[in-house]
Amino acid sequence: DIQMTQSPSSLSASVGDRVTITCRASQSISNYLNWYQQKPGKAPKLLIYAASSLQNGVPSRFSGSGSGTDITLTISSLQPEDFATYYCQQSYNTPRTFGQGTKVEIK
């Protein structure tokens, strides 16, 4: 199975900050990488697929980049509604493994 490791596991940031989360795969996965946002008590929500394609309705302050083993999620200007846990998931093969999550907290 492909192992997905996110860094950091948690971070504290202020509204307006630029935030970057990295997902590292145990082997090259090209751009076969999805990002999900999960708020407390809610189901995960798809943000980005194919490493950089925004799902419909997702604000443009979210962006993704990278290919191979290291792929990043960037929030250009953190908003109050962005405080949540973010998960990456590889779609290179089955099982489509998830990273352990990155919790974005208010500073």
Partner 1 sequence: EVQLVESGGGLVQPGRSLRLSCAASGFTFDDYAMHWVRQAPGKGLEWVSGISWNSGSIGYADSVKGRFTISRDNAKSSLYLQMDTLRAEDTALYYCAKDSGLYYDSGGPTYYFDYWGQGTLVTVSS
Positions touching partner 1 (CB under 8 A) are 30-32, 34, 36, 38, 42-46, 49-51, 53, 55, 87, 89, 91-101
Phi-psi region of 37 (alpha: psi -120 to 50; beta: other; left: phi over 0): beta
Closer Cβ to partner 1, 32 or 62, answer by number: 32
The answer to whether 98 touches 4, Cβ cutoff 8 Å, is: yes
Closer Cβ to partner 1, 83 or 92, answer by number: 92
Closer Cβ to partner 1, 77 or 100, answer by number: 100
Give me the sign of the Cα torsion angle 6, 66, 55, 12: positive
